[in-house]
Structure 1
């Protein structure tokens, strides 16, 4: 299983439009962050978690030529806005794209992309096959995926565990039951928005504490804003086994 971080930024991305801070003006490629998303290549199976506004650029940059399914963590725009750009995969693969999400996520997508679900479709619109999921494990072409229920302030969000890899974004509370689903992961991905307190995301210190409690062999932080600081500087502050992810980072697991 090869996992590629397509984007590791927060809802505005980094650099932020109009911002002249040291992170937004950094020349370090690791400080340039598309909206959060990951791609899984598991044998022949190609999956993406979330299609944010940068989805087209992410697919081109990562060289993804086949996509078998999309899984959504939640309904916020920075995780869904790029869904229209599945069209090239429709054309190339000549089939509908399965999209997996909770009922409220699928309903939001149906509202935002109403033209896709219209009874009189305009030629060339995305071809989508919605698949409703809940908190129960499900499979895609024989690969088991375990939802990890967490909270983004008061909004229920799903993280996902595939094998020994667990991905959680947009979260500031992990229920005890979800901790048990995560334990034993070799690689954990967790959101760490910034150093200052935030109403709906883990801060850097909170994410470090959660990572220590979970105890994965390696933890990567994602969904980071420009307020977190320079990648190179923050890396020096982190405990062993914890690192900042960056766009383009690849992780391979057996």
Structure 2
């Protein structure tokens, strides 16, 4: 299994458009980027590839990374920075199967699969396939499982992808309160991609503060929707991840922390 991190940033990415903060300036000076979130997973046995989330930066990501266009895609939730790249399917694909959860979101009254189908009903090249959380299914010769996480107010899912000898776990957008059954499914990965939008110190400046405090009083959730860096690292320890990369990070990291390990940047590639 070959995993390429096409997009490792949050909803605005780093550098952020129009921003000259120290972190965005440092990113430009270093020539690194964190575009909106997307992961390319290639099954080297079948030479097929699955795209996890379709970033609005789809075109740029596929022009700047040496990866094949996907044979299928999976959408974790309906926020624009994870789904709006599907518009690139126009004239690029003859057919693109897209997988998403089929359970109804009480907030929207429809599932992620239905929401994506409604938004892209004009794209006859995209075919939506609803799948039940916790029930594994095969795509591109890989076993794929959607696991519910906590990203209020919308439903959102993490992803577990397994081959005969490798396991990739992706938390998706979530706070630290991931349900126990989902944590069990995510556990023991060869590679964990854990969202870590900001360091815990940033909670002091948010109106909602933080949540899921550890025994030292450090918040593992930023406000209500996302994990802090400290929360993501605590989760990685709990899940016993062999390797962890922190993704979906914001430009609000202080410049002297923004490029420290294990924070990921676009273009990283891992062979599991």
Check whether the contact 1:6–1:36 (CA below 8 A) recurs between aligned residues: yes
Q: Where in structure 2 are the equivalents of 1:215-226 lying within 5 Å?
A: 215-226=240-251
The offset of 1:88, in angstroms, is 4.5
Q: Specify the alignment match of 1:120 in structure 2.
A: none
Provide the rounded CA distance (Å) in 2 between the counterparts of 1:106 and 1:148: 15
Q: Specify the alignment match of 1:123 in structure 2.
A: none
Change (3 A) 1:88 1:42: farther
1:186 to 2:160 alignment: no
Could you say what the CA RMSD is over the residues aligned between the two structures, in angstroms?
Answer: 1.7
**When you count helix as a share of all residues, which structure comes out higher?**
1
Q: Where in structure 2 are the equivalents of 1:112-123 lying within 5 Å?
A: 112-116=119-123
Check whether the contact 2:149–2:172 (CA below 8 A) recurs between aligned residues: no
Change (3 A) 1:15 1:52: same
Check whether the contact 1:6–1:39 (CA below 8 A) recurs between aligned residues: yes
The offset of 1:234, in angstroms, is 4.8
Query: Moved runs in structure 1, 4+ residues, more than 6 A?
Result: none
Provide the rounded CA distance (Å) in 2 between the counterparts of 1:102 and 1:215: 26
Q: Where in structure 2 are the equivalents of 1:156-195 lying within 5 Å?
A: 156-163=155-162, 164-172=167-175, 173-195=177-199
Check whether the contact 1:188–1:216 (CA below 8 A) recurs between aligned residues: yes
| TM-score normalised according to structure 1 size | 0.86
Check whether the contact 2:4–2:268 (CA below 8 A) recurs between aligned residues: yes
The offset of 1:155, in angstroms, is 2.4
| TM-score normalised according to structure 2 size | 0.80
Q: Specify the alignment match of 2:89 in structure 1.
A: 86
Provide the rounded CA distance (Å) in 2 between the counterparts of 1:37 and 1:73: 10
Provide the rounded CA distance (Å) in 2 between the counterparts of 1:155 and 1:225: 20
User: Aligned pairs, how many?
Assistant: 233
Q: Where in structure 2 are the equivalents of 1:46-195 lying within 5 Å?
A: 46-90=49-93, 95-103=94-102, 104-116=111-123, 127-135=125-133, 136-163=135-162, 164-172=167-175, 173-195=177-199
Provide the rounded CA distance (Å) in 1 between the counterparts of 2:48 and 2:112: 23
Q: Which runs of 5+ in 1 are unaligned?
A: 117-125
1:172-192: CA deviation from partner (whole Å, max 9, x where unpaired): 021111111122212111000
